[in-house]
Structure 1
Amino acid sequence: REDYFIFLASHRAYGKDSREASLIDMMNDGVEDLRSKYIKLIYQEYDTGKQAYLKDLPNSLCKFETFMAKTNSGFLVGKELSFADYNLFDLLLNHLVLCPKSLDNFPKLNDLVKKMSARPKVRALLDSEAFKKIPINGNGKQ
């Protein structure tokens, strides 16, 4: 696990100092909390809980939106891209499949998706046929 953190730090994906690293951890924990809700929906409650999930989704997304508005850098924490931004980006892509309008009221999150999608290597991955064939969820629910 220590090697993982050294790797992140060496690629400047863990903030510029311990304060930013702590905030990145906090934001990533929030992403994982939302991911847990999403996974529960997809694998346990899809047929009965999708509408309730989508109704509550803005309550979860507004926390990220508000935090990003405070930093006003286009990223979750600081002026550099972090691993938490990648994690949030991945989860937001899933939510855009679940509900294409899910980010309509969240300009900062929408901008993050656009910014991340425009990164050359990310764009190449998203455009690749191999990526397009990978199912989003193992049970086929979207």
Structure 2
Amino acid sequence: MIALPYNCLDTKSSTSMSELVQCNMRYYNACYTMWPSLSSCRNAGTDSEGRCEGMRILLADQGAEWNEEVLTFDQWLKGDQKAKAVFGQLPGFQDGDCVLYQSNAIMRYLARKHGVYGKDLVTQSRVDMMNDGVEDLRVKYLRMVYQNYEEGKEPYIQSLPAELKHFERALRENNNGQSFIVGNEISFADYNLVDLLHNHLVLAPECLKEFSLPLLTCVLVSERERSDLTG
């Protein structure tokens, strides 16, 4: 496993989205199977990769292999997958006899299995806390995208400094930005944060620069460097 901390002493030039996400688009044929969400924010012009993307980033970084069975809407309606889904929605995930639905349940399963959930109860609880913060912002993002994109985009972007400063502060307070979002080892909250930042950079490519969020910028620079090593 590659485990590079966020090194903000080495800030590279701006990175294109294609470079940032190139490792996350790899698909493998192996032990895990995922059924991605039927729709993504791409339909609203934001080019998001949906709720499986954090899982992809985690698995790619951990060197794990997986395959994806992408269902069309027609297959979803007419097939048996919808009936099997506990809450009638995707994504879904299978690891041997273990079948799960709900994206955060899947993320936590993978985090426990690959040792990226923290080593003790306090660390795990802090990882949960930061991940809950990521999900709170994701809910606001998705609400804007699906319910009020045209009129809500600019006000949402203007609200980002207040939203993202919480993660910037958490990074700064943890070893002055030279480590991860919690502790000294990467966790699933880091992977989920990277996914959310990807979404926002597509929505507003210059948001991290314009809002003076250098440590969050370094999160993405570090993710690119990790991707180069694991790719």
Bin the TM-score by the shorter chain. Answer: 0.7 to 0.9
* Residue of 140, 148, 157 corresponding to 1:37: 140
In the alignment, is residue 108 of structure 1 matched against residue 215 of structure 2? yes
- Tell me: CA distance 1:57–1:6, structure 2 relative to 1, closer, same or farther (3 Å): closer
Task: Give the stretch that moved more between structures: 66-75 or 49-58.
Answer: 66-75
CA distance in 2, matches of 1:99, 1:62: 16
Task: Look up the match of 1:128.
Answer: none
Residues 62-91 of structure 1: CA deviation (Å, up to 9, x unaligned) = 000001100024311011110010001001
Structure with greater contact order relative to length (CA < 8 Å, sep ≥ 6):
2
1:128-139 correspondence runs (5 A): none
Unaligned runs of 5+ in 2: 1-99
CA distance in 1, matches of 2:204, 2:107: 33
Which structure has greater helix proportion? 1
CA distance in 1, matches of 2:223, 2:135: 19
Structure 1 residue 16 displacement after superposition:
2.0
- Tell me: CA distance 1:5–1:100, structure 2 relative to 1, closer, same or farther (3 Å): closer
* Residue of 89, 92, 95 corresponding to 2:194: 89
- Tell me: CA distance 1:39–1:7, structure 2 relative to 1, closer, same or farther (3 Å): closer
Task: Look up the match of 1:79.
Answer: 184
Structure 1 residue 103 displacement after superposition:
1.0
Which structure has greater strand proportion? 2
- Tell me: CA distance 1:21–1:55, structure 2 relative to 1, closer, same or farther (3 Å): same
Residues 108 and 188, structure 2, Cα contact 8 Å, conserved in 1: no
Q: How many residues align?
A: 124
Larger-gyration structure (1/2) = 2
Give the TM-score, by structure 2 length: 0.49
Task: Look up the match of 1:130.
Answer: none
Give the TM-score, by structure 1 length: 0.78
Give the root-mean-square deviation of aligned CA atoms.
Answer: 2.3
Task: Look up the match of 2:26.
Answer: none
1:5-84 correspondence runs (5 A): 5=108, 7-72=110-175, 73-84=178-189
Task: Look up the match of 2:68.
Answer: none
